[in-house]
Structure 1
Amino acid sequence: MFIEPDYKYMPTTTGISLPSPKGSRFVASCIALTCVLCFVLPSGYSYGSALLCLTCIPLLLWFRPALSLTREDLWILSALVFYVIAHFVIIQYHGSASRYFEEPSRFLLGIFVFLAVIGFKPSERSWWLGLAIGTILGGMVALWQLLQTDLPRAQGFMNAIQFGNLCLLMGCMCLAGLGWAHQQACPRRWVWLLILAAVMGLAASFFSGARGGWVALPFLLGLLYLCFRHRMQRRFLLIGLTLMTALVVTLYLIPQTGVQLRIEQMSSGLGGYMQGTHVDQSIGVRLEMWRAALAVASEKPWMGWGETGYVEPLVQLISDAASRTQVAELDHLHNDILDTLVKRGALGVIALLAVYLMPLIVFARVSLRASPEDYRLRAFSLCGLLLVTGVIMFGFTQAFLRHNSGVTLFAFFMVVLWGYVRLAEPKVHSE
Structure 2
Amino acid sequence: MTTLIKKNRLSNYIYSSIFLVLILLLSTPNFSVVIVLILFIVSLSYLIENRQSITLIKADYLFIIACASYFLAFIPIAIIDGSTLRYFDAPSRFLLSIPIYLLIRNMLVNQKLNFNALNKAIEYGAITGSMGALVIALYQVIIEGRPRVDGFLYSINFGYLACSLAFLGLVFYKGSSHKLINLLGFSAAIIATMLTLTRGAIFAIPVLLIMTLFFLYREIITAKKVLLFAVSISFISMLSYQFIPTFKQRIDYTTFEFKQIIQGDTAKSRSSGGRILLWGSAVEAFKSSPLIGETYHNREIISQRIYDHSKYKNRVLLAPRAHAHSQYFEILACAGLLGIFALFLYLMAPLVYYYYLFSKNKNNIFALCGFIFTTGICIFGLTEVLLAGNLISLYYAFMQALLIATAMSYHALTTQKSSQ
Alignment TM class, shorter chain as reference: 0.7 to 0.9
- Structure 2 residues without counterparts, runs of 5 or longer: 108-112
- State the distance in 2 between where 1:233 and 1:349 align: 37
- State the distance in 2 between where 1:405 and 1:285 align: 25
- State the distance in 1 between where 2:152 and 2:402 align: 24
- State the distance in 2 between where 1:62 and 1:71 align: 22
Asked whether the equivalents of residues 139 and 200 of structure 1 are also in contact (C-alpha less than 8 Å), the reply is: yes
Alignment RMSD (CA, Å):
2.7
1:49 corresponds in structure 2 to 36
Deviations 1:157-210 (A, max 9, x none): 1011111111112102211112332xxxxx2x2x12221111111111111011
- State the distance in 2 between where 1:217 and 1:424 align: 28
- State the distance in 1 between where 2:7 and 2:106 align: 11
2:244 corresponds in structure 1 to 255
Asked whether the equivalents of residues 105 and 405 of structure 2 are also in contact (C-alpha less than 8 Å), the reply is: yes
1:36 aligns with 2:26: no
- State the distance in 1 between where 2:53 and 2:238 align: 52
Instruction: Say if 1:139 and 1:149 are closer, same or farther in 2 by CA, change over 3 A.
Output: same
Instruction: Say if 1:58 and 1:237 are closer, same or farther in 2 by CA, change over 3 A.
Output: farther
| 1:409 aligned residue (395, 403, 406) | 395
- State the distance in 1 between where 2:228 and 2:180 align: 14
Deviations 1:25-50 (A, max 9, x none): 11221111111011111223312222
1:175 aligns with 2:170: yes
2:377 corresponds in structure 1 to 391
CA drift at 1:91: 2.3
| 1:133 aligned residue (128, 135, 146) | 128
1:420 corresponds in structure 2 to 406
Map residues 4-403 of structure 1 onto 2, 5 A cutoff. 22-63=9-50, 67=54, 69-120=56-107, 121=113, 123-124=117-118, 125-181=120-176, 187=177, 189=178, 191-231=179-219, 246-256=235-245, 258-277=246-265, 279-280=267-268, 281-318=270-307, 319=309, 323-331=313-321, 332-370=323-361, 372=362, 374=363, 377=364, 379-403=365-389
Asked whether the equivalents of residues 67 and 119 of structure 1 are also in contact (C-alpha less than 8 Å), the reply is: yes
- Aligned residue-pair number: 400
Instruction: Say if 1:20 and 1:310 are closer, same or farther in 2 by CA, change over 3 A.
Output: same
- State the distance in 2 between where 1:83 and 1:271 align: 37
CA drift at 1:231: 4.4
Deviations 1:336-370 (A, max 9, x none): 11111111111112111211121111111110001
CA drift at 1:65: 9.5
Asked whether the equivalents of residues 93 and 390 of structure 2 are also in contact (C-alpha less than 8 Å), the reply is: no
- State the distance in 1 between where 2:340 and 2:46 align: 34
Q: Out of 410-419 and 85-94, give the one that drifted further.
A: 85-94
Q: Which has the higher helix share?
A: 2
Q: TM-score, normalised by structure 1?
A: 0.84
Q: TM-score, normalised by structure 2?
A: 0.86
Instruction: Say if 1:204 and 1:156 are closer, same or farther in 2 by CA, change over 3 A.
Output: same
- State the distance in 1 between where 2:231 and 2:197 align: 22
Asked whether the equivalents of residues 315 and 324 of structure 1 are also in contact (C-alpha less than 8 Å), the reply is: no
Asked whether the equivalents of residues 89 and 388 of structure 2 are also in contact (C-alpha less than 8 Å), the reply is: no
CA drift at 1:79: 1.8
Tell me, what secondary structure is at the counterpart of 1:37? helix
